[in-house]
Amino acid sequence: MVQSKQDGLACSSCPNVRYGTNRLADSMIDYRLEAPPILRDFLTYHETIQGHSKKTVDEYFLDLRTFFRYIKIEKGRIPRSTPLDEIAISDVDLALVKSVTLTDIYAFLSFLSRDRVKNANASNSRHGLEVSSRARKVATIRSFYKYLVSKAKLLDENPIQELDSPKIRQALPRYLTLDESIQLLESIEGDNAERDFCIITLFLNCGMRISELVGLNLSDIRDDRIRVLGKGNKERVIYLNAACQNAIEDWLAVRSHSGAADPHALFISRRHTRITKDGVHYMLKQRFTAAGLDSSKYSAHKLRHTAATLMLQNGVDVRTLQEVLGHEHLNTTQIYTHVDSNALRDAAQSNPLGQIKAKPRRGRPKKASGNEE
């Protein structure tokens, strides 16, 4: 069966249903216009009461939209020949929400892992979402049903209380060594050198997210402190060391003569407007390459990993690091405790049994010489 990229892949259990994704359309969605009341109330709660960002709430909506499109097919509310991306969810009501079972969700996860097109607009679309994407959708569905029980009081019991999340393999974060970090900083020269040096210095010393850095305003700087607006619009204060203060001072001396179109932004582009995330990504790739580092392996987030790793290696405790990075949960920060290979090597060597050798046995055959296999 030949599939077009726009159509996606037909699920084996529903052969005439086409499953694809359209990122361009997804980027233009407004849940307030498309979501039915039961979903809209949940999303509004997260945006206004929980303080989640628009991007986060939009992701919640996309997850729930995909889920209930699938459920409408499985429950026979629409013909199986209907393309998934054309299914409206405006008629999703409490009755349909209540009808969902664990079996339905496991079938949905099977569809995501086997049949869902990753990107219908790509030239070489593959099928099956990564486990991290499936886990996020499970988290969204669980949050939705928890809200219906504990906040909206529309359900007496949570039908998916026992829903497990797909297990995610925890990969160790990639980071620059101390020498590589110094190499990167010392290589910065030429156009925008003061700005780029300041940006990279803040990444490496403060562990900021790129969204936090581009959102910085001049008014956020207070002597040896800087105010950062993190995930969920949560503010935190990061103390600046001498390197950060000097880098900011040098950049502000240049910025004051640049005629910035945005009078508030700390970092501006060549067009004198607030620098964007894409602008920072592009700049970093250029700077990594100029420093002799592989720009395909490193990014702004890898510099955040570097800051966290170097702080831990130099005596910062994990709870303090949690506050610096703005992590809500400690276990998010604890991954950095596993990346210091020198500490692991020292721990292995410090074991008092580490030097014990087996006694040679009498009559043990000697190792065969040559290239025997």
Give yes or no: 282 in active site: no
User: Is residue 265 classed as helix, strand or coil in its secondary structure?
Assistant: strand
Given 69, 136, 209, 287, the catalytic residue = 209
The residue behind tokens 């407007």 is 273
In sequence order, the 6+-apart residues with CB closer than 8 A to the CB of 362 are none
Q: Which residues contact 75 (CB under 8 A, 6 or more apart)?
A: 96, 99
Q: How far lies 125's CA from each of 26, 133, 231, 296, 360, in Å?
A: 17, 16, 31, 21, 59
Pick the catalytic residue from 151, 301, 338, 345. 301
Structure-block tokens of residue 312: 């831990």
Looking at residue 165, what DSSP letter applies? P
By CB neighbour count within 10 A (0-12 exposed, 13-18 middle, 19+ buried), where does 138 fall?
A: buried
C-alpha distances (whole Å) from 9 to each of 4, 25, 141, 183, 206 are 8, 19, 24, 47, 45
Structural tokens at position 141: 């569905």
Task: Please pick, among 18, 46, 134, 304, the residue that the annotation labels catalytic.
Answer: 304
| 14 strand-pairing partners | 11
Is 336 known to be catalytic?
yes
From 231, 236, 277, 285, active-site residue? 231
Is 231 annotated as catalytic? yes
Any catalytic annotation for residue 287? no
Tell me if residue 46 is catalytic: no
Active-site annotation, residues: 209, 231, 301, 304, 327, 336
